[in-house]
Chains A and B, each alone.
Chain A
Amino acid sequence: MNDSTTTHPEAPPYLKAWDDYVSACQALCERLSNPAAPAAGGAVPLAFLGSWKDFAASLGMRPDAAPGDSSNPEDKFASLFPALGYSREYQEIGRRMLDLTGQFQRRYAEFLQHSADIGQSAFQATQRRASKDDTLLASPAAIYDAWIDCAEEAYAQAAHGEPFARLLADLCNILSEFKIERGKLLEALARQIDWPSRAEVDSLHRQVQTLRSAAVKAKGVAKMRTAAKAGRAAKAGRAAKAGTAAKSKGVAKPTAAAKPTPGAKRRGKQKIRKTSERADR
């Protein structure tokens, strides 16, 4: 099962699609026209397969590197056993990255095997469809569409299974770990050339986040205070209005019992202060 297209990996997707279309139609036509020889013709290309490998490469992994390939700088670390000396930590990181590359390659090979099975199931389903519908073979485009439908069905069936989910998660977890190790190397490099390191920037971001949260809280408290103040002012305004209205209507003055005691006003003020203190808290 090939996992890359014949076009350049950087080629626009529609060129890859075109390439795949022609190859797929050719393979399907050949294989469907010769049911006695199902292995005839090339495998139907599965264009999406390369994307995990491309993503791994974008993180700095060499997913295609053969173990022991002398062009890999990481291999130098592998040849030094045990890692010792001034650069011991970096050697360990390099070794770990190499190990993760190996893990990725093994899991990726399983992924390809899964995909090969999906391709095979899809082909068989397309074959069943073609045997029921004679017109399919007369049109490569129709065969291609039928194959896409069958491939999606076969893929969905596999993708919903536990082994596939574990495989995808493993690929993802290995790449996450690789990114972490790569970060450690970059961190060391940044320190050596006196550039701000990731850890330094993270530390600043944490501080900003803490300050931000504090500022938002303070803003909330200030808002509550303003609202409380506005509420008190409105209440006082209503009370004053009510008092004026009562006077103009000639309502009897409050009796001595109803009159506030001299200290009451102060107590009222104290009460208000307490409310705002509560808001502070």
Chain B
Amino acid sequence: MTTTESFARLMSDAAAMQERGQSALRALREIGEVQVGLSEKTCVYAEDKIQLHRYVPLARSARVPPLLICYAMVNRPYMLDLQPDRSLIRELLSLGVDVYLLDWGYPDGADRFIPLTEYVCGYLGRCVEFILEQNAIDALNLLGVCQGGTMSLCYAALEPQHIANLITMVAPVDFKTPENLLSKWAQHIDVERLTRSGNVSGEFLNLVYLALMPFRLTQQKYVNLLQMEGDRAQLENFLRMEKWIFDSPDQPARAFREFIEWFFQENRLIRGELTLDNRQVLLKNIQCPVLNIYAANDHLVPPSASIPLGAHVGGEDYESLQVDVGHIGMYVSGKARKTVPAAIARWLQERKP
């Protein structure tokens, strides 16, 4: 094909795409605000910015201890309940699991000096205690997702008596593996300087996330959007995801600094050198059953960052589950929806007291 022919083809393709794009944009304007996190829930405990939600059951109880989900602080947890047909939480509820969710909220200047210890041993700890009291039980099931998984590991290592079973999902444990691009970038960042003037803005975090795969995330996905024509359902899915991607809360300065320095730069957790609440955080203290779920194509938390967990926990009952998806796909892809919730429910069922 000659340049002239290619150019003519491009022009005709472009015209067709423009037409489809216009119809997509018209439909987008009509959609307006999209709804997320629609599963029915009640706030059962609140403190400062954090809220603990309990979801309304959707099926007969599976008679396993309640499951507390601890999500990352760097993103919003409604990704786990993005829409009724793409909701890990809804799937778990329909399998009879009693689900609680810890929402870290949107930290602001008032949270600037709160240390990481307070987030792990304080807020998370008090949520655990609340659930234990509410249900009159000694231990619950804990599901830690992404950064929340790392925090859950710390908590479980410090308070093993409160955790019946621990599930980690796309959670980094070894922060210094060759595939970990975020970690490579974090090594030379002066985090003290970054946080000296206050909280770290969500806008900055977005900049970093988009830089991980810039061509796909800032160019190709919008080109694909223009090819969706007026498919309202597809456009709504796109908008929900778009809303979540850019809904990154500001990070409380001190806790963020400690997390980056201690985990990304010094890799203290896996080296057994992390101290929280004046106590050493040792993964070998985690004696309860552990299910480690990781994504094979994760560009944020590569499998190599999650897999080493098995070699460090203290208990014999350790299982890992690799899902052939990316980081986000773990929450919303059809493949993960078919396997992950059922695997979690079954695994918990097999270990019920």
Contacts and interface: CB of A to CB of B under 8 A. Distances in A.
> Do A and B form a real pair?
yes
A140 B222 contact: no
B187 interface: yes
Contacts of B187: 165, 169
Contacts of B44: none
Nearest to B184: A165
B136 interface: no
Given A138-B9, A152-B213, A176-B190, A169 B197 contact: no
B207 A55 contact: yes
A206 B113 contact: yes
Contacts of B213: 152, 155
Contacts of B18: 18
A140 B14 contact: yes
Interface in A109-160: 137-141, 144-145, 148, 151-152, 155-156, 159-160
Size range of the interface on A? 35 or more
B334 interface: no
Interface in B216-273: 216-223, 225-226
A106 interface: no
B54 to A, nearest CB: 22
A138 B197 contact: no
B59 interface: no
A170 to B, nearest CB: 8
Given A58-B203, A144-B223, A168-B211, A26 B10 contact: yes
A33 B193 contact: no
A148 B224 CA distance: 12
A140 B6 contact: yes
Interface residues of B, number: 52
A209 B110 CA distance: 8
B25 interface: yes
A25 interface: yes
Contacts of B223: 17-18, 20-21, 144
B189 A155 contact: no
A208 interface: yes
A129 to B, nearest CB: 15
B188 interface: yes
Interface string B6-31: 11011001100110010001000000
B185 interface: yes
A21 B9 contact: no
B184 A209 contact: no
B181 A160 contact: yes
A180 interface: yes
Main secondary structure, interface of B, reads: helix
Contacts of A170: 188
B249 to A, nearest CB: 17
A169 B188 contact: yes
B76 to A, nearest CB: 20
A55 B109 contact: no
Contacts of A47: 214, 218-219
Contact of A140 (B10, B112, B198, B204): B10
Nearest to A137: B1
B38 interface: no
Contact of A18 (B6, B210, B221, B226): B226
B196 interface: yes
Contacts of A90: none
Contacts of A137: 1, 6
Contact of B7 (A30, A152, A201): A30
Interface in A70-113: none
A151 B215 CA distance: 7
B122 A155 contact: no
B266 to A, nearest CB: 16
Contact of B207 (A51, A144, A216): A51
B210 A208 contact: no
A170 B185 CA distance: 10
Interface string A1-19: 0000000000001101110
B194 A176 contact: yes
Contacts of B14: 21-22, 25, 140
A159 B182 CA distance: 10
Contacts of B110: 205, 208
Contacts of B194: 172-173, 176
A206 B114 CA distance: 9
Given A29-B7, A144-B223, 17 more contacts: A13-B222, A17-B218, A17-B226, A18-B18, A18-B223, A29-B3, A29-B6, A33-B1, A33-B6, A48-B211, A141-B17, A152-B213, A152-B216, A156-B181, A159-B185, A170-B188, A213-B118
7 contacts: A14-B222, A21-B219, A30-B3, A173-B188, A176-B196, A180-B197, A205-B113
Query: Which 5 pairs across A and B sit closest by C-beta, in order of nearness?
Result: A17-B222, A169-B188, A48-B214, A29-B6, A33-B3
